[in-house]
Structure formats: C-alpha cells, structure tokens
Structure 1
C-alpha cells in the first residue's frame, strides 16, 4: 500500500451535491483533491451533478472529465455510489442508466445508519413556493407591460376626453426571496421527515450547507444540507455515528494531487475510457 493511500480517510457515508460539472462555476480541481483524500463505503451524489445534455460531456474541460473518471474509479474500488436526480440533471431524466460503474440512479435514498433512519433527496420537490413566486412575478410583469402599452396607445384619446389615467399599483417583490425559499425548504423537508418517522433528512438544492435540529408537536428530526461545489465547496460526512459538515476552504488538502493515476491522461483518453465503460454498463443492464 502506498504512503499516500494511508492518508485517505475511511468514511461510512459521504454526501456531495450541486457540483454542476460542465459549467465554469464548478470547482472541479478542488473536488478532485477531496475525492482523492477519502475512501467512503457509500457516496451519494445528491443531484445537480452534471449540467447540460449527454452530448455535452464530450466538451468537458480536462479537470471536469477527471472528476467523472475518479467517480468511476471509486465505484470500481468498492464504493457504492448513489446518483440521486436533481432538477438540473437533464440527461438523466431521459435515460434509465447510462453512467458507467457501480452506480444506482434514483430520486431518493433511505439508509439505516446505526439504528437511525436517514432520508436523502435533492430537495427541489419542497421548493414549489419559490418556483410559484417566480412564475407569479414573471406573469405579473408581462401583465404590467401589456397594461402600460395599452395605456400609452390610448393617451391621445384620453387627453381629448379629459379622462383620468389611473396608474396600476406596482408589484412589490418579497424581501430576500432566496432566504424565504431556504427556510421553506428546510421546514417542509423536516416536517415531512418527522411525519414519515425519519430521524435525519438530507437535502441540497438551495446550496446552503447546514446542520439543524427541527422539532414540532409530532417529534423531531435532524436537517442536513450538503451545500455545493461552486461557492461553499462543502460535503457531508458520516463516521463514528455522527454527521459532520466538511468545508474544503476550512480544511485544505494540499498533500493530495487528485489521484496520480489520472494526472497524465489526456482529454481524449478520458473521454474514450468513460464512454467505453458506459457502453459496457448499458450492455450489462440490457442483459
């Protein structure tokens, strides 16, 4: 065993989310360093992992392609990987299972960890009010545009008749809609989990890393959010019977390159190997 291998942290469960591979905002190099520093038994990719269509994978920058390759290697080395669909995972919504390696693709995951029930899902299902507010604001704006255009077209006639032009009351947006959405997601996820008899619920979606205990008249539930790898560079780790919020910014892993096996692979080699394994996985699934 190599000296570097001894430094890897053995973890029961790791949850990462909102990587948005394929976008400029993704911190792929830092993510590769983190993935190379751990050896989890279970890795949960909790939604919004790959942005764009399946064909876009061929246009990935090398650092992003190396992350995909690293995930393959982890699965081949024995890590059980669950890919939970997020609202941005477009190509997964059109395919049953086209990710190479030992991956399980689903919408949610239930785990039993040291006698406690854990429910993991992306969390966009709890964000309906935020989406509704956006639709209302968009529809209201369109309505105002039509109303103002109509009023402008009638001005000459109104002036002739000495009519009074009544200005519509402008829509006042909700103060800090992001915070409103965040609170709603947390509350709805915790309430649903308590109703289901779940001890811990894990979401992502709003990109806000968090650990909080929620209580109501029916019981209590631990709410966790894994954050993202665009702004917060955070993850959730379960070991020694407890959950911990990991922050790459707070605990930089300079000792790791990001897996020496991937260092010298060219982009074409990464893509070729990725899709070869993808085709093999499809054939196994079909048989």
Structure 2
C-alpha cells in the first residue's frame, strides 16, 4: 500500500496492554501513513491495567513504530490521559521530536486547535477513581467476551456486533453524558477563542460544528482503537475521520510476526493468562 502524506494525525485510547486493544490493525494503519505531526491524545498505554502477563509482540511493534516516527523527524506529541495519568508529572519533557504534554495548542492554517484527552470532564474520574478503574476492568472483560462472540459469528457468516455500543444506546444516561461532554468541551474552547477542540476519552469518534450564544467551534473526537478503530486526519485545511476497514489492508495480511485473528483470540482466551491478569487487578 502506498503511504499517504498527512499534515496532522490524531489517535487516542489505544489501551496497549489490554485484551481489547487492536494493535495489529493500528500497526497497519501507522505503516500506511506519513504524517508531519502525530498527536497521541491519551490512554495510549493502559498503565491502570498493565500486567506483565499480557504484552503481545503486536503491542511492542506499535511502540517501535512510534519510535521510528520520532527517529524520522515526525513531531510526536504524547498527551496524557487518565489511564496513563502517572506520566502527567513529566509534563513538558522533550526528547528530539518527541514531546510529553498534558495538553497542546497548535495553529493550523490560521486557526487555533486545542488538544487534550478530556477526562477532566468526567465526574467519576474526579470523585470516584476506584469506581472508574473497576469499570475499566469490566469494560476490558466485556470486550474480550465480545471478541469471542464475533469470532463465532464470523465463522458462521454472520455480521459482527458491539456489546458496548448496544449498551450505550439502551441507557439514556450514557447518551446524556456524551452530549454533556461535547457541549462542555465546546463551551470552554469558545471562551478561550479556539476554532477547534480535539478530545478522546469517550471512545466515540465525532466531527461536528457546535454553535452557542457566544460563538461556534468545531468539536472533534478521535474515537479509539478498541472498538471504533478510528483516527482524525488533517490535510488540505480539512479534518476527516479515518475508519479502519479490513478490506483496505488485505495486502498487508502477510506482515511478519502479526498474529491472525484466530491466533490472537486464542492467546487472549488463554485461561492461565486471564487468571494471572485477574489476580494482578485484585492485588492492586
């Protein structure tokens, strides 16, 4: 596949080190682009749930690819999220073209863009962090079960399904939270005079204009690489949402060292690995 030149690429919520992470797909995407600037908008490595018992080679290859971008002179901005919050004390650290920050302000063709993860808007994160961490473990387990169900559905020629999307659609509070999140981000961005506000955190890719009494802003969310498999791309003064499609990367299926879907699922469902991971979470 011929590499695409892109001015700015934003990815978030990769959650490397968890069962739900689609590192194999992300690696294929990263190999298909040549960005000038790459913004990692939080929760790239899931330090909350990190376990020595689960760190596949495909996850390590993503890290190596990111390091290669830095060696090639790509401006890489790692913005911290809640799952990698322990890195926040290193805000401002720079190594070559690698920058570790809690937030980022960039000017794109005369317009100011404000980038940050977005967990500051999450009430659960601010007041009940233990509950948020429990929810993260439950979410990862749900994704693992969903992977097995989708593997069975695919084997029988059926369409894949998303448990978490169905749950979100059923509960009005989830929809209300997402709307509130977007409105709050937009309101703050307008007050600060930014034309773009770019977040992650809620695992829901979005691009839309939000108008309020005191102005208008373009709200963008990069989604995630657990379910949505999405990224934001800025090129020719326009933002677009990239959505990973397996059919676009069929020629890359022979990538050396990358597990097939069946082998990857078998590794994830290894009972000993799963038990070790659960023991690790309980011990924390």
Do these two structures clear the TM 0.5 threshold for a shared fold by scoring above it? yes
Aligned residues: 220
Query: Aligned partners of 2:90, 2:78: CA distance in 1, in Å?
Result: 13
Q: In the alignment, which residue of structure 2 is the partner of 1:159?
A: none
Which segments of 5 or more consecutive residues in structure 2 lack a partner in the other structure?
133-170, 259-284
Question: 1:189-240 CA distances to partner (integer Å, 9 max, x unpaired)?
Answer: 0000000110010011000101110111111000000000000000000001
Query: Aligned partners of 1:118, 1:220: CA distance in 2, in Å?
Result: 13
Three-state SS of the structure 1 residue aligned to 2:186 is: helix
Shift of 1:53: 6.6
Residue number among 18, 25, 28 corresponding to 1:23 in the alignment: 18
Q: In the alignment, which residue of structure 2 is the partner of 1:43?
A: 38
Higher relative contact order (CA 8 A, sep 6+): 1
Query: Which has more radius of gyration?
Result: 1
So what's the TM-score if we normalise by structure 2? 0.69
Residue number among 179, 186, 189 corresponding to 1:183 in the alignment: 179
Within the alignment, does 1:234 sit opposite 2:230 as a pair? Answer: yes
Within the alignment, does 1:225 sit opposite 2:191 as a pair? Answer: no
Q: In terms of mean alpha carbon deviation, does 105-114 or 51-60 score higher?
A: 51-60
Q: In the alignment, which residue of structure 1 is the partner of 2:261?
A: none
Shift of 1:100: 7.3
Query: Aligned partners of 2:211, 2:92: CA distance in 1, in Å?
Result: 38
Which segments of 5 or more consecutive residues in structure 1 lack a partner in the other structure?
139-174, 264-287
So what's the TM-score if we normalise by structure 1? 0.68
Question: 1:91-144 CA distances to partner (integer Å, 9 max, x unpaired)?
Answer: 42465689977320111111100111100100111222x557979x99xxxxxx
Query: Aligned partners of 1:54, 1:117: CA distance in 2, in Å?
Result: 34
Structure 1 vs Structure 2 CA RMSD: 3.1
Q: In the alignment, which residue of structure 2 is the partner of 1:119?
A: 114
Q: In the alignment, which residue of structure 2 is the partner of 1:86?
A: 81
Question: 1:56-107 CA distances to partner (integer Å, 9 max, x unpaired)?
Answer: 5795210000000000011111111000000000442465689977320111
Three-state SS of the structure 1 residue aligned to 2:248 is: coil
Query: Aligned partners of 1:210, 1:54: CA distance in 2, in Å?
Result: 26
Asked whether the equivalents of residues 45 and 84 of structure 1 are also in contact (C-alpha less than 8 Å), the reply is yes
Asked whether the equivalents of residues 37 and 253 of structure 1 are also in contact (C-alpha less than 8 Å), the reply is no
